[in-house]
Structure formats: C-alpha cells, structure tokens
C-alpha cells in the first residue's frame, strides 16, 4: 500500500503545527493511504526538546522518509527544515505533492464524489439486472 510522508513547518509554530499535520493525516488515511506523520505520538517531534539541534530531528525524519512512496508538503514548508525533506524526496525520485491547510476539505469533496460514483454504479447494476428479467408481456407481442 502507498505510504505518504507529511513534511511541513514545525518549529516556531504553536503546538509544533500538530493540528495541520493531523488534519492532513486524517484525510489521507480516509482515502486509504498509509501515512507517516512526524508530529504524531511516538515520532520525532512528540517530545520535542528545543535544546536538541533541529538537525537531529531532521535526520530521524529522513530515516522514515526513505521508507515512504511519496511526500505531501504542507503550506510553509519552504521556510522550514521540511524543504530539506522535500529535496531529499525529489533526489530519490519520489513524487512530491503540495497542500495547504484546506487539504482536508478537498479530500472530503473527493470522497463524496467517489461515493456518488459508486452509488451510480450500484444503481446502474441494479437497473441492468432488472432489465435482464423477462416479463410475460413485452410491447409488440400479440
């Protein structure tokens, strides 16, 4: 299954930007992707210590990034160490996608569209099944 690494700004943002990371993680999971969220519990920024150099956190993230299939870069990544993660991903030939904080809204619209298409397909199947039923009377018969 496709695994996506979320890259984005962390330091200098309240709560280390966990809300934005969580929003995108949730949307990606609902779409069926496996996700690595570096701000989730058990990952590099969970117990973020400002005394530990950022490069240490960055190295931990890159160790996870190389095991992913794509990167989703959040708004503001260019002004943070996340740009290094994006550059590494590009250097490894991984696809990089870009999102802003409205990504969850886009994902929900996408899900609703897919659900509507699935409902249409089910309805089409039901109609096709009913159309194949032979009736005792058909127009044009004596």
pLDDT digits (tens, 9 = 90+) for 6-29: 999 988 888 888 898 998 898 889
pLDDT digits (tens, 9 = 90+) for 113-126: 777 777 777 777 77
Domain extents in the chain: 3-102
Residue (of 75, 1, 129) closest to 86 by Cα position: 75
Q: Are 99 and 28 in contact (CB under 8 A)?
A: no
For the cut 70, the answer to whether the pLDDT of residue 132 exceeds it is no
Beta carbons within 8 Å of 123's beta carbon, 6+ residues apart: none
Element spanning 97, H or E = strand 96-98
d(Cα 103, Cα 85) in Å, to the nearest integer?
20
Give me the percent of the chain exceeding a pLDDT of 70.
74
Residue 135: predicted pLDDT: 46
pLDDT digits (tens, 9 = 90+) for 38-81: 888 776 555 566 677 888 888 888 999 999 999 999 989 999 98
Name the CATH code of domain 3-102 (choices 3.20.110.20, 3.30.470.10, 1.10.10.10, 3.40.50.10400). Answer: 3.40.50.10400
């Amino acid at each position: 299954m496709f695994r996506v690494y979320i890259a984005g700004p962390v330091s200098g943002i309240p709560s280390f930007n966990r809300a934005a990371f969580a929003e995108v993680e949730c949307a990606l999971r609902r779409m069926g992707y496996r996700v690595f969220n570096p701000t989730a519990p058990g990952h590099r920024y969970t117990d973020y210590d400002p005394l530990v150099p950022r490069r240490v956190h960055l190295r931990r993230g890159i160790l996870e990034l190389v095991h992913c299939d794509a990167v989703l870069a959040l708004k503001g990544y260019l002004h943070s160490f996340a740009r290094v993660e994006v550059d590494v991903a590009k250097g490894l030939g991984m696809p990089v996608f870009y999102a802003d904080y409205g990504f969850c809204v886009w994902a929900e619209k996408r899900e609703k569209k897919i659900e509507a298409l699935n409902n249409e397909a089910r309805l089409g199947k039901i109609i096709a099944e009913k159309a194949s039923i032979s009736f005792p009377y058909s127009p044009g018969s004596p």
